[in-house]
Amino acid sequence: MKSRNLILSFGLIAFLYACKSNENIESRIQGFTQGTSYSVIWYHEKGITDQEVRKDIEELLTVIDNSLSTYNPASVISRVNRNEDVVLDTMFINVFNKSYEIWALTGGSFDITAAPLINAWGFGPDATKRFNESIKNRLMDLVGMDKIKIVDGIVIKNDPDMCLDVNAIAQGYTVDILCAYLSSRGLEKYLVEVGGEVRTKGKKPGDKPWIIGLDKPSDGNYTPGLYRQADIKLVDKALATSGNYRKFFIEDGLKYSHTINPKTGYPVRHKLLSATVIAEDCMTADALATACMVMGLEKAREMILEVGGLDAYLVYSDEEGNFKTWFTDGMINYLAD
């Protein structure tokens, strides 16, 4: 009898241990999309395989690419830019509407109609610089979300030469789409990252937060995670960072960043080096981080504080070129020791 009870007890312990272990199975996948990398990490019980998730995520990424990528000539946005008859999908409409919202919120500092300027400065799909003063006024005529709208599922432009570029919001939106998919599978502990934009749900096993490294915004710092500015504890939030230290070119001794000010037509030149925004969703964080880089330090701080419900971490240089930081009071809760 004792022997039988011992066997039953051992079996029960093994079963409970197996259940506990199953809840903490770690899976991860990674790959490339939208000209950058992505990674997904999740913890789960047995029953959902890496192959299932990878297949579903790759299909979702293809759908997003077919809607929002200006590098894909057959995408919805590419066809809109060419003024072709095209049925707008939900993804395009969602990003367009959110872009208009952020455009209004930031006083036009975030503007997806700045595509003609982005392309002319050589930061578009063909990477050819064509900007000069003789075409500036014409390009500026094509910029402004008050000049374009969606009516009955059709994009209406004030000028047929207007075109859109959603790269400054699409990666954040992609993160949100992938998170919605993982939640639909019943997963409660995961991290999704696309091009450095991140969103998490739940905590890691052992009640540990996800730790996100913010890169030091030094020119030439092309290796994510190699030189860290700070570490952020992120639980049930989204984080996006924008900076001018990786995408730029130098001409006649002057540095031209990839962040174009849609109000002036020129690449920004100020002391703000990087902007990290924490929000409920990654699409909002992504767009606002870009807006901060357009605005510069002072206006970015004012905007963050006025909007409310956000936290931000800004890195800028002083007169001597030393790195300085400004962050919201709530950011203290996110900074890792």
* CATH 1.10.3980.10 domain position(s) in the chain: 76-157
Considering the entire predicted model, what is its pTM? 0.87
Candidate CATH numbers 3.40.50.1000, 3.20.10.10, 3.40.50.980, 3.10.520.10; the one for domain 198-333: 3.10.520.10
Structural tokens at position 249: 């070119």
Q: Write out pLDDT tens, residues 150-172.
A: 999 999 999 999 999 999 999 99
pLDDT number for residue 47: 65
Residue 237 Cα to chain centre, angstroms: 13
* CATH 3.10.520.10 domain position(s) in the chain: 198-333
Amino acid code (one letter) for 246 = R
Look-up: residue for tokens 């990878």? 54
**Low-confidence spans in the chain with pLDDT less than 50:** 1-21, 221, 246-256
pLDDT number for residue 319: 80
Lay out the sheet containing 238-243: strands in order across. Answer: 25-33, 36-44, 189-194, 197-201, 238-243, 272-279, 311-317, 323-327
Distance CA 320, CA 144 (A): 36
Look-up: residue for tokens 């919201």? 328
| Strand-pair partners of 16 | none
Do 310 and 288 form a contact (C-beta atoms < 8 A)?
A: yes
Cα torsion angle, 227, 233, 234, 239, sign: negative
DSSP state of 239: E
| Strand-pair partners of 151 | 154
Q: Write out pLDDT tens, residues 190-233.
A: 999 999 999 999 999 999 999 999 988 765 545 555 567 899 99
Q: Maximum distance among all alpha carbons in the chain?
A: 96
Distance CA 136, CA 114 (A): 12
**DSSP calls for 166-191:** -HHHHHHHHHHHHHHHHHHTT--EEE
Residue 282 in 3-state DSSP?
A: helix
Distance CA 163, CA 271 (A): 30
pLDDT number for residue 189: 95
Structural tokens at position 106: 């930031």
Residue 215 in 3-state DSSP?
A: strand
Record: fold of 76-157: T-fold (1.10.3980)
Do 282 and 102 form a contact (C-beta atoms < 8 A)?
A: no
